[in-house]
Amino acid sequence: MRAHLHTFFTRAAEHHLAKAKHHRALSGHYSKLAEFHKAQMDGEDETHPAHVFAALADAHSDTADEHVTMAEHCASCAEVFGATGKAMGLSDFDRELLMPMPDGLSTIHDAPPAHLRAVPRHGQPEIPTAKVAEGFEHLVKVE
């Protein structure tokens, strides 16, 4: 889960940076259009294209600033999730154990270790044991 969040926040930061660049470019284009129309403006009419393009340029500039802020926040979150394992003193092997397994695979084994045995509760039916081939009963006999 930690690796997934690290990847998510890294990708979100990249996305916000791309959007900030896009909005900065749009702001520049609208600023140029506003300057072009301002030269032709003959009054202070608020609906004149010069004012409309200037407002659009300001809106895209503000949006770009917001995307930069979000990119910085996502990058700091990604850094936290990436460094958490190091802070906890996990080795690369330990981090691999924390990673989710693909569907159909598991790190849990079917057979318990030989040194462990089940102890039934009071009233519980007897736990079935594996059948042992004749002649080998003495190897698994419990005394």
Q: Which residues of 116-142 are buried (b: 16+ CB within 10 A; e: fewer)?
A: eeeeeeeeeeeeeeeeeeeeeeeeeee
CA distance linking residue 84 with residue 90, whole number of Å: 9
Per-residue pLDDT tens over the stretch 19-65: 999 999 999 999 999 888 887 776 677 778 888 899 999 999 999 99
pTM of the model: 0.54
Question: Residue 22's closest CA among 49, 52, 61?
Answer: 61
pLDDT digits (tens, 9 = 90+) for 56-97: 999 999 999 999 999 999 888 888 877 655 555 555 544 455
DSSP 100: P
Domain range list for the chain: 2-98
pLDDT at 56 (0 to 100): 93
pLDDT tens digits for 93-120? 444 555 566 666 666 656 666 777 778 8
Distance CA 138, CA 83 (A): 54
* 22 phi and psi angles, rounded to 5 deg: -60, -45
Reading the block at residue 50, the tokens are 């010069």
CA distance 142 to 113: 16
Judge contact between 74 and 13, C-beta under 8 A.
Answer: yes
Amino acid occupying residue 63: T
